Amino acid sequence: DQQVKQNSPSLSVQEGRISILNCDYTNSMFDYFLWYKKYPAEGPTFLISISSIKDKNEDGRFTVFLNKSAKHLSLHIVPSQPGDSAVYFCAARGPSYTGNQFYFGTGTSLTVIP
């Protein structure tokens, strides 16, 4: 059973506009959330993270928002650039009694159109 879900397999956005990628999770005990970006034929690379005690974290063009009551997080990319075209994975760290296990979503493929 998928504990971290990314319900949009793909997203297309015009260059310069905002990209919003969404992620939902089921386990309220997750304490840390991360976004990874993956280009074809490469491993994922870390993008941005947020602790469950915060509701927003910003790093340059990337902002992650966490809504714990809705068990929802989102990644905003502003402005979107063609180099942002990649697959984005949302991940969550499991509760402490599971050790340091990580759960990933299925990914959203972002295409930024020049």
Partner 1 sequence: EAQVTQNPRYLITVTGKKLTVTCSQNMNHEYMSWYRQDPGLGLRQIYYSMNVEVTDKGDVPEGYKVSRKEKRNFPLILESPSPNQTSLYFCASSHFQGFEQFFGPGTRLTVL
Give the interface with partner 1 as residue ranges (CB under 8 A). 2, 4, 6, 32, 34, 36, 41-46, 49, 89, 91, 93, 99-107
Asked if residues 110 and 11 have their Cβ atoms less than 8 Å apart, the reply is: yes
DSSP 8-state secondary structure symbol assigned to residue 78:
S
Whichever of 46 and 55 has its CB closer to partner 1, that residue is 46
Whichever of 40 and 114 has its CB closer to partner 1, that residue is 40
Please state the closest distance from residue 114 (CB atom) to partner 1, in A. 28
Whichever of 35 and 85 has its CB closer to partner 1, that residue is 35
Whichever of 13 and 105 has its CB closer to partner 1, that residue is 105
Q: Distance (Å, rounded) from C-alpha 80 to C-alpha 62? A: 10
Q: Which of 60, 86, 56 is nearest to 68 (CA)?
A: 56
The structure tokens listed for 68 are: 């714990």
Please state the closest distance from residue 102 (CB atom) to partner 1, in A. 6
The structure tokens listed for 81 are: 């650039």
Please state the closest distance from residue 105 (CB atom) to partner 1, in A. 5
Q: Which of 1, 18, 21 is nearest to 10 (CA)?
A: 21
Please state the closest distance from residue 76 (CB atom) to partner 1, in A. 20
